[in-house]
């Protein structure tokens, strides 16, 4: 029983910075980085973490791990932006998740002090950053991975924009 | 001031399952999925989230987002497993992070009720799962991304094993 309780204990995370983008409203946003190509944003890392940014400039892409801080309570079945069929939440990238954690690969343009200039950020302005990691193709790139129900739809993420459904 | 306080407010996350692998000790583990090729593990999703697993079986790869639950306090400069030079923490995938959140791409072998059978999991047995997302090459695969200081070293992640340094 104690074990079971431990396994379910909440884990607190503290923002390490704030993501800034031109997207100030959750409606009308690109729904994936492929739909935010060339859109510039920035990540303001809190000053106490400055030392940890050393050596980052050599990477062309980063993972941003962030809080979907405006996401309403989760639903286990959702109709994703790219579909008209209800899908299991964990087979989607929808923001209304039991743990509303977002993950995006962005292009790193420049490291300017504690500000990271990025492109392709499909992220709401003001989003709290939890972690960033270098994107390493040898670990992270699987071009031949199969995309399940998204196989017909992933390409249209370039043009589809969000609507009201995840408000 | 209130704004600043809000931006730094802790965010609690609750495990949604437990990751099981043959790796019961943090020393001697593979340090990336490329070093865990073919090693089988499983993810036991807590039963209340079962409905969210629908449609997952069509994907060949998943992102697991998990807590580095045994990670000691963070250091902003680390000597990574793949290097002998101190590096900025955020330019590495080291587990001792301000928010100890792990990210791995694993291969999905089978969905068996609320158990996901996976391969390539470079993860400690008993690790709390925070979220899982389908891996979608159109969003996530950047084979030409440049790997910064890791450019010479990423390939050796296939053979290097962890040691005591992140205990």
Q: Give me the domains of chain A, ranges plus CATH numbers.
A: 14-137+146-160 (2.40.30.70)
- Residue from B81, B123, B145 whose CB has the most chain A CBs within 10 Å, to mutate: B145
High-pLDDT (> 90) share of chain A, %: 63
First to last CA, chain A: 37
Q: What is the ipTM of this complex?
A: 0.90
Average pLDDT for B26-36: 69
Among A87-91, B33-37, B143-147, name the one with the lowest average pLDDT: B33-37
Q: d(Cα B110, Cα A96) in Å, to the nearest integer? A: 25
Q: Residue A1: is its pLDDT beyond 70? A: no
pTM above 0.95, yes or no: no
Spatial contact of B91 and A50, defined as CB atoms under 8 Å apart: no
Tell me whether A160 touches chain B (CB under 8 Å): no
- pLDDT tens digit sequence for A123-136: 999 999 999 999 99
Taking only Cα atoms into account, the Rg of chain A, rounded to an integer number of angstroms, comes to 17
Could you write out the three-class secondary structure of A110-153? Answer: EEECCEEEEECCCCCCCEEEEEEEECCHHHHCCCCCCEHHHHHC
- pLDDT tens digit sequence for B105-123: 999 999 999 999 999 988 9
Question: So what's the pLDDT on residue B15?
Answer: 96
**In this complex, do A13 and B10 lie within 8 Å of one another by their Cβ atoms?**
yes
Q: d(Cα B51, Cα A63) in Å, to the nearest integer? A: 28
Instruction: Name chain A contacts of B59, Cβ cutoff 8 Å.
Output: 91, 145-148
Q: Residue A81: is its pLDDT beyond 90? A: no
Question: So what's the pLDDT on residue B27?
Answer: 75
Task: Report which secondary-structure segment, H or E, holds A4.
Answer: helix A2-7
- Residue from A88, A100, A124 whose CB has the most chain B CBs within 10 Å, to mutate: A88
Average pLDDT for B31-42: 78
- pLDDT tens digit sequence for A134-163: 999 989 999 999 999 887 666 666 556 666
Instruction: Name chain A contacts of B58, Cβ cutoff 8 Å.
Output: 91, 146-149, 151
Average pLDDT for B138-153: 88
């Amino acid at each position: 029983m104690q074990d079971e309780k431990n396994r379910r204990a909440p884990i607190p995370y503290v923002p390490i910075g704030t993501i800034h983008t031109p997207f100030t409203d959750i409606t009308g946003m690109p729904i994936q980085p492929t739909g935010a190509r060339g859109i510039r944003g920035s990540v303001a890392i809190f000053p106490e973490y400055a030392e940890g940014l050393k050596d980052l400039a050599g990477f062309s892409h980063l993972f941003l791990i962030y809080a979907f801080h405006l996401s309403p309570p989760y639903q286990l079945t959702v109709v994703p932006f790219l579909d008209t069929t209800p899908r299991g939440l964990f087979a989607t990238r929808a923001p209304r998740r039991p743990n509303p954690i977002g993950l995006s690969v962005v292009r790193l343009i420049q490291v300017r002090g504690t500000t990271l200039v990025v492109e392709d950020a499909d992220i709401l302005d003001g989003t709290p950053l939890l972690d960033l990691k270098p994107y390493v193709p040898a670990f992270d790139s699987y071009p031949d991975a199969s995309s399940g129900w998204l196989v017909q739809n992933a390409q249209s993420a370039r043009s589809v924009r969000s609507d009201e459904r995840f408000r």
